Structures are given as C-alpha cells and as structure tokens.
Amino acid sequence: MSKYEPLARHLARLQLQSWRASFDEIERVLNFSLPESARKYNAWWANQSGPGHSQTAGWIDAGWKTSDLDLAAEKVTFSRDAGVSDSPPIPPKQTIPSAAVPPSGGMSIAQAKDALSIYYDTDVANIEIIIRG
C-alpha cells in the first residue's frame, strides 16, 4: 500500500471531471506534508509510472492525470484521464461489520462517521459529513 493511497481514494470518489487543488488541500487529504521535491520539481507531478513514482501511480490507477502545475502558487489540476473509461474505484480496506450498521430507520451522524471510519480504515476524526439541503 502506498502512502499516497488516500489521495487516490479521494480522486476516485470525486464526482468532478477536474479538481484544481492547492498543495495544502492535498496535504489535508494525505494527512501529511508533501516532500520538498513536490514543491521544487515539475517531475514530481509528471504523469509517469515506475519505480520512484509511488505518488503518480496513485492518481494514474484512480484514472486521473495532472496538468497546469504552478509551483510558485503551489497548485495543480487533476483531471480524469480520457484514456481511462470508468476506472473502478479503489476498494476500501475493510467491510463494515453488520453490527455497525443500524436497522432501517436511519442512523445518527456519529454512527455514520463510525461506520465510515471502519469502511475506509481511518480515524473517525478524518471523516467529514456534509449535508446539502
């Protein structure tokens, strides 16, 4: 498992064709700081796979590519790769135990966050639920 898997998971879940992201936003998704080379070298963001490019494998495997890199502004655009048709989402690490899913009738936000933290194998503090009305 690559340490960049959270970024791949994030991209796989996006319902957008492109995402213009700041390095800070990417670091929040990853829950760690990008390496200094990401801030200095265009090559770090290149769409190439192979040894030494674990970060790239994450977004390529999720069906995305990078473009419009601006190192000075610390922003990059991720776009769905037209050459990849409906790439399957990266599967979650665990299934939710049936005891964590309440019977029909709904669940509280806390219960939903608990179940999602199990499903995505992450701390509940990393789960954010947005309700749009």
Q: What is the pTM of this model?
A: 0.61
Q: What is the pLDDT of residues 55-102, one digit of tens each?
A: 888 888 888 999 999 999 999 999 998 765 444 444 555 555 555 555
Separation of alpha carbons 108 and 94, rounded Å: 21
Structure tokens of 123?
A: 């701390």
* CA 125 to chain CA mean position, Å: 16
Each domain of the chain, given as residue ranges in start order, spans 5-80, 92-133
Q: What is the dihedral of CA 36, 27, 57, 119, to 10 degrees?
A: 150
